[in-house]
């Protein structure tokens, strides 16, 4: 027999310790809906409600509003009846009204990226009923005022007209405050609230041409559709693209009975975390406000209080609040309402134990009764992510494999970046202090608007408070500073999710958007001035502060050790200098997968000799120029081999088209002509001769070594001599010489012969030898197709997936920037194939090349050195294709090591 779970429904109910769904149904119910169902099943008090599935959203995007509403109308009406019967009130009723919230909820949490409407179901009659039912007229009208404001914004599009403008409803409120000579919302009289409601409705009519909807059912459908639409809003699309979430996931809609934190001093609302989302420390923490609704805590317009006494004491120290003042004016929930605190504490423990991960919860206290509105795995910084995974492992609640799978590889990046130099910090001029909302060190120039975050190279986005519209700018800025808002404000939550340094709630800052100034203690700072933020202490510092490399010990090291334990695929690095090689080795690189030798030729003292070589008219002239380059190359290789002592180093022969090396400015051309004692015209003529219509497919790669064998000879000599020189010093070098851009076996053979002959010559001269390999890049589709032939001679393959992608798609690497973003926007491609390997197409060439190569040489060593070698989904593909190693830039080595382990764990 089919159970309810077997039949997919459009609407899933929950409440009163029962639920149609559960936590495993995140794809269908969204994260929030699935967790509400689960909490209800766990016996945790959640207000009754229901979830309209993500599949309905997808359907809505296909067929539009009318058909979708008809499809779910009966289910929604029945679900509302269920909520009415659990909550003992009636939707739209004038005496005993049920009010509801309508919220988005995708399968992954996207905080603030989509829309929410609260207090839905109010109109001019219902508000009177609500006032009588609660005996609280002020509360009823305040709820109505908030409802029109939110519904107007979300459903009816009542937004500020420009970035310097304020919200149209805020403007009305500000005007009334001015008239009444009051400062706070709480100072409005009941009559003021009534006036606001009518003024708000007038504003709606003026701007939209329609009356504000009075029928609760019309309101409900309007809100449901607006939530569906918000899935394709700018913010959500940006967030999705940033995280690579596909557009076809859709969002669920959660409709739930309202409970109120603003019904007086026995009510309140808050947000809490089972562990510290910034550091990972195992302390329950969070913030609440008495007599407030959820958005008041997150919006950062009032200073929230701490939930635990410990948190409150820590906060007071940072905010420089005396104990007496703290206890009287900002007591913790633990001190103020111990019974509710104990209940909340019990639920937070229960939920963390149940989900085996740090939870981020929202709650409301209505008239002394606690309701949990939401729980989800909390967003956290990279540092917290690593610490929590290791702590959970040590507590025994998860195993090693699970601990590794808990780490988002790309977030490790946050741990690898510089921190403030403690010595420089001692001398720093701290101008103010805010809350340490998201750790890190940031130095940059002040900007006041999110869409100006790229005005300078390094910026600090400085705002009174941030909103979801600011997401893109927050991502670009080096750090975020806000004057308002607590540890759970929008800025703080989003910054921690991004791993971006953030100081919030720095009350001493006076920000003027119109003048673009920041005043602290009488001192005025302007847009473009430098400041620094210490996200770990909340300090705001004038000017720049020097940084140092971070420590890579503790939990980070443990994650790396575990990664090594669970991955057989190796991780190498792409490095062109001893410095990069050393960095990568510190991060655990197991060799070099690609040294691009051309980068060495661009340095000032070398480019001249290189140009002379290119411009030489005869073989003799070219050889003379190469003679000058030889000692420099040899020295470079010695440095790199030494840094990688004992580990393999793949050195690639010269690859780019020669015209990249010649001067294109007249002044430089003149200089070169003088140095070479030839005429300017001769230089110009040579440059014209080198020009190509399609340089990426032109005279480059092994084609250079074939037309100018002396280049291959010189480079081979430099490599072999460097290795022999180190051998004399007792340092083992393991060179692997790699020929680029091979398309046929014959091309490879021609280069291999030069390499082997040159090496032999050097061995004879030095009367000594070393071991070395000769292999090739596989980056032309023909090479992948004929890999069985190429493997007759090549001792290793390395997939150059940058060129392979270019040639498989026919997208020029240099020109794709013009159309790829549009392709992604239009959904023609899901992701940029130069970032994540196109497994469907280019991936076939990698699989086929590997298989065919190994059909000739079963033990052929195969790796990848295109940019994809540092990208988690591509690394998983490489593991599944049995590659021996991936190679990536030094700072991506830890990410690749973890991804390799995750791939292996997932495959097993
Ligand atoms: C490649 O093509 O993937 C590669 C690593 O070489 P380059 O990017 O230098 O062309
Ligand atoms: Mg290439």
Q: What is the pLDDT of residue 301?
A: 64
User: Which of 654, 797, 799, 866 best tests ligand 1's pocket when mutated (most atoms within 8 Å of CB)?
Assistant: 866
Residues near 819 by beta carbon (within 8 Å), at least 6 away in sequence? none
Q: Which ligand is nearest to the CA of 596?
A: 1
Q: Is the minimum distance from the CB of 896 to ligand 1 under 6 angstroms?
A: no
Shortest-distance Cα residue to atom 4 of ligand 1: 800
Atom number of ligand 1 nearest to Cα 594? 5
Residue 871 Cα distances to 109, 720, 810, 854, 893, angstroms? 23, 33, 22, 25, 10
Residue 453 · residue 461 · CB < 8 Å: yes
Atom number of ligand 1 nearest to Cα 779? 2
Atom number of ligand 1 nearest to Cα 800? 3
Q: How far is the CA of 702 from the centre of ligand 2 (A)?
A: 11
Atom number of ligand 1 nearest to Cα 799? 3
Q: How far is the CA of 596 from the centre of ligand 2 (A)?
A: 10
For residue 386, which of 350, 413, 347 has the smallest C-alpha distance?
413
Q: Sign of the C-alpha dihedral, residues 177, 180, 182, 186?
A: negative
Please state the φ and ψ torsions of residue 539, each to the nearest 5 degrees: -75, 140
Q: Which ligand is nearest to the CA of 802?
A: 1
Q: How far is the CA of 567 from the centre of ligand 2 (A)?
A: 27
Residue 222 · residue 199 · CB < 8 Å: no
Q: Is the minimum distance from the CB of 802 to ligand 1 under 6 angstroms?
A: yes
Query: For residues 624 and 405, what is the distance between their CA atoms, to the nearest angstrom?
Result: 56
Q: How far is the CA of 802 from the centre of ligand 2 (A)?
A: 6
Atom number of ligand 1 nearest to Cα 596? 9
Residue 460 Cα distances to 447, 456, 678, angstroms? 6, 10, 52
Q: How far is the CA of 867 from the centre of ligand 1 (A)?
A: 8
Buried b (16+ CB within 10 A) or exposed e, 852-886: bbbeebeebbbbbbbbbbbbbbbbbbbbbbebbbb
Residues near 519 by beta carbon (within 8 Å), at least 6 away in sequence? 509, 510, 511, 512, 525
Q: How far is the CA of 901 from the centre of ligand 1 (A)?
A: 25
Shortest-distance Cα residue to atom 3 of ligand 1: 800
For residue 290, which of 273, 306, 279 has the smallest C-alpha distance?
306
pLDDT in tens, 821-856: 889 888 899 888 998 999 999 999 999 999 999 999
**Matching residue, tokens 């590889």:** 409
Q: Is the minimum distance from the CB of 280 to ligand 1 under 6 angstroms?
A: no
Q: Is the minimum distance from the CB of 803 to ligand 1 under 6 angstroms?
A: yes
The beta strand positions in 35-86, using DSSP E, are 49-52
Structure tokens at 831: 């992701």
Residue 375 · residue 347 · CB < 8 Å: no
Q: Is the minimum distance from the CB of 779 to ligand 1 under 6 angstroms?
A: yes
Q: How far is the CA of 856 from the centre of ligand 2 (A)?
A: 24
Q: Is the minimum distance from the CB of 696 to ligand 1 under 6 angstroms?
A: no
Q: Is the minimum distance from the CB of 655 to ligand 1 under 6 angstroms?
A: yes
**Matching residue, tokens 């003088």:** 674
Please give, one letter per residue, the 3-state secondary structure of 688-751: HHHCCCCHHHCCCCHHHHHHCHHHHHHHHHHHHHHHHHHHHCCCCCEEEEEECCCCCHHHHHHH
Q: How far is the CA of 849 from the centre of ligand 1 (A)?
A: 17
Residues near 767 by beta carbon (within 8 Å), at least 6 away in sequence? none
∠ CA 621-622-626, nearest 5°, is: 120
Mean pLDDT for each 10-residue chunk of the chain (908 residues)? 62 96 95 95 97 96 94 97 95 94 90 83 96 90 94 91 81 93 88 96 95 97 95 87 85 95 90 94 95 72 88 91 94 97 98 96 94 92 94 97 96 84 87 87 95 94 85 91 81 78 90 93 95 91 89 89 97 93 94 91 80 88 92 96 98 91 86 88 90 91 96 97 98 98 98 98 98 98 98 98 96 87 86 93 98 98 96 97 96 95 97
Pairing mode, if any, of strands 570-574 and 592-596? Answer: parallel
User: Which of 593, 651, 778, 802 best tests ligand 1's pocket when mutated (most atoms within 8 Å of CB)?
Assistant: 802
Q: Is the minimum distance from the CB of 866 to ligand 1 under 6 angstroms?
A: yes
Pairing mode, if any, of strands 861-864 and 459-463? Answer: unpaired
Q: How far is the CA of 611 from the centre of ligand 2 (A)?
A: 22
Query: For residues 489 and 468, what is the distance between their CA atoms, to the nearest angstrom?
Result: 11
Q: Is 617 exposed, middle or buried (0-12, 13-18, 19+ CB in 10 A)?
A: exposed
Query: For residues 28 and 21, what is the distance between their CA atoms, to the nearest angstrom?
Result: 9
Residue 36 · residue 255 · CB < 8 Å: no
Shortest-distance Cα residue to atom 10 of ligand 1: 803
Q: Which ligand is nearest to the CA of 594?
A: 1
3-state class percentages of the chain: helix first, strand second, coil last, to nearest 5: 50, 15, 30
Q: What is the pLDDT of residue 298?
A: 63
Q: How many CB atoms lie within 10 A of CB 889?
A: 18
Structure tokens at 328: 């009287």
User: What residues are labeled active site?
Assistant: 490, 865
For residue 14, which of 373, 265, 294 has the smallest C-alpha distance?
373
Q: Is the minimum distance from the CB of 801 to ligand 1 under 6 angstroms?
A: yes
Q: Is the minimum distance from the CB of 596 to ligand 1 under 6 angstroms?
A: yes
Shortest-distance Cα residue to atom 9 of ligand 1: 596
Structure tokens at 605: 């003292």
Query: For residues 888 and 890, what is the distance between their CA atoms, to the nearest angstrom?
Result: 6
Query: For residues 542 and 50, what is the distance between their CA atoms, to the nearest angstrom?
Result: 51
Residue 851 · residue 862 · CB < 8 Å: no
Shortest-distance Cα residue to atom 6 of ligand 1: 800
pLDDT in tens, 514-539: 999 999 988 999 999 999 999 888 99
Query: For residues 556 and 551, what is the distance between their CA atoms, to the nearest angstrom?
Result: 9
Query: For residues 477 and 443, what is the distance between their CA atoms, to the nearest angstrom?
Result: 10
Atom number of ligand 1 nearest to Cα 865? 5
Say how many CA atoms lie within 13 Å of 76 toward its Cβ.
22
């Amino acid at each position: 027999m089919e159970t309810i779970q077997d039949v997919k429904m459009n609407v899933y109910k929950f409440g009163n310790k029962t639920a149609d769904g559960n936590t495993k149904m995140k794809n269908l119910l969204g994260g929030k809906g699935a967790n509400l169902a689960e909490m209800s099943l766990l016996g945790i008090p959640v207000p009754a409600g229901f979830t309209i599935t993500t599949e309905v959203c997808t359907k809505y995007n296909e067929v539009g509003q009318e058909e979708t509403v008809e499809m779910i109308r009966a289910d929604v009406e029945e679900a509302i009846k269920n909520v009415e019967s659990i909550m003992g009130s009636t939707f739209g009723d004038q005496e005993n009204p049920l009010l509801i919230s309508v919220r988005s909820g995708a399968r992954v949490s996207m905080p603030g990226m989509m829309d929410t409407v609260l207090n839905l179901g109010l109109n001019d009659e219902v508000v009177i009923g609500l006032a009588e039912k609660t005996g609280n007229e002020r509360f009823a009208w305040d709820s109505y005022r908030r409802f029109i404001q939110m519904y107007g914004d979300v459903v009816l599009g009542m937004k500020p007209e420009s970035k310097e403008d304020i919200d149209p409803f805020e403007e009305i409120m500000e005007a009334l405050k001015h008239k009444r000579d009051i400062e706070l919302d709480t100072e409005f009289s009941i009559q003021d609230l009534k006036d606001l409601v009518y003024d708000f409705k007038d504003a709606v009519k003026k701007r939209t041409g329609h009356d504000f909807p009075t029928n609760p059912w019309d309101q409900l459908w309007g809100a449901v559709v607006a939530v569906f639409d918000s899935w394709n809003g700018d913010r959500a699309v940006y967030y999705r693209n940033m995280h690579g979430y596909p557009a076809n996931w859709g969002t669920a809609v959660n409709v739930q009975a309202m409970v109120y934190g603003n019904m007086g001093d026995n009510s309140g609302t808050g947000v809490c975390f089972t562990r510290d989302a910034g550091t990972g420390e195992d302390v329950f923490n969070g913030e609440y406000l008495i007599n407030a609704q959820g958005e008041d805590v997150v919006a950062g317009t009032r200073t929230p209080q701490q939930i635990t006494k410990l948190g409150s004491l820590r906060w007071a120290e940072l905010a420089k609040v005396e104990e007496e003042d703290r206890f009287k004016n900002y007591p913790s929930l633990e001190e103020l309402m111990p019974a509710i605190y104990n209940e909340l504490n019990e639920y937070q423990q229960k939920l963390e134990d149940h989900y085996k991960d740090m939870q981020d919860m929202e709650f409301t206290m209505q008239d002394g009764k606690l309701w949990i509105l939401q729980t989800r795995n909390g967003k956290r910084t990279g540092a917290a992510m690593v610490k929590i995974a290791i702590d959970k492992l040590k507590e025994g609640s998860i195993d090693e494999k699970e601990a590794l799978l808990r780490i988002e590889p790309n977030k490790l990046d946050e741990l690898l970046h510089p921190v403030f130099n403690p010595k420089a910090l001692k001398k720093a001029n701290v101008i103010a202090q805010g809350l340490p909302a998201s750790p890190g060190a940031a130095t940059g120039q002040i900007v006041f608007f999110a869409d100006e975050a790229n005005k300078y190279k390094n910026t600090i986005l400085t705002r009174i408070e941030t909103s979801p519209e600011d997401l893109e700018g927050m991502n670009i800025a080096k750090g975020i500073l806000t004057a308002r808002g607590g540890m759970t404000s929008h800025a703080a939550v989003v910054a921690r999710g991004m791993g971006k340094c953030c100081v919030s709630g720095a009350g001493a800052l006076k920000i003027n958007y119109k003048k673009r100034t920041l005043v602290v203690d009488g001192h005025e700072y302007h847009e473009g001035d430098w400041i620094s933020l210490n996200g770990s202490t909340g300090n705001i510092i004038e000017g720049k502060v020097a940084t140092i490399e971070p420590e890579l010990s503790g939990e980070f090291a443990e994650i790396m050790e575990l990664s090594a334990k669970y991955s057989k695929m190796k991780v190498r690095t792409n490095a062109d200098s001893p410095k990069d090689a050393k960095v990568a080795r510190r991060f655990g690189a197991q060799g070099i997968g690609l040294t691009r030798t051309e980068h060495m030729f661009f340095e000032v003292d070398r480019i001249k000799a290189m140009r002379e070589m290119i411009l030489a008219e005869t073989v003799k002239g070219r050889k003379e120029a190469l003679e000058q380059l030889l000692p420099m190359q040899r020295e470079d290789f010695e440095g790199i081999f030494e840094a990688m002592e004992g580990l393999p180093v793949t050195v690639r022969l010269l690859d780019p088209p020669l015209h990249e090396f010649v001067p294109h400015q007249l002044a430089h051309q003149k200089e070169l002509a003088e140095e070479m004692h030839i005429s300017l015209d001769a230089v110009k003529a040579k440059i014209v001769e080198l020009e190509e219509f399609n340089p990426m497919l032109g005279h480059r790669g092994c084609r250079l070594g074939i037309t100018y064998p002396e280049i291959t000879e010189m480079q081979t000599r430099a490599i072999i001599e460097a290795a022999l020189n180190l051998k004399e010093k007792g340092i083992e070098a393991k060179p692997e010489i790699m020929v680029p851009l091979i398309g046929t076996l014959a091309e490879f053979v021609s280069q291999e012969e030069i390499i082997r002959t040159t090496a032999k010559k050097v061995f004879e001269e030095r009367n000594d030898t070393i071991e070395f390999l000769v292999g090739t890049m596989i980056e032309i589709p023909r090479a992948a197709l004929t890999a069985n032939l190429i493997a007759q001679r090549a001792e290793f393959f390395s997939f150059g997936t940058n060129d392979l992608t270019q040639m498989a798609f026919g997208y020029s690497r240099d020109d794709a920037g013009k159309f790829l973003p549009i392709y992604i926007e239009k959904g023609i491609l899901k992701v940029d194939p130069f970032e994540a390997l196109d497994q469907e197409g280019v991936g076939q060439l990698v699989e086929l090349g590997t298989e065919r190569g190994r059909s000739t040489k079963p033990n052929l060593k195969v790796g990848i050195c295109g940019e994809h070698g540092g990208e988690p989904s591509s690394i998983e593909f490489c593991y599944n294709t049995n590659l021996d190693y991936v190679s990536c830039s030094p700072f991506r080595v830890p990410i690749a090591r973890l991804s390799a382990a995750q791939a292996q764990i997932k495959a097993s």
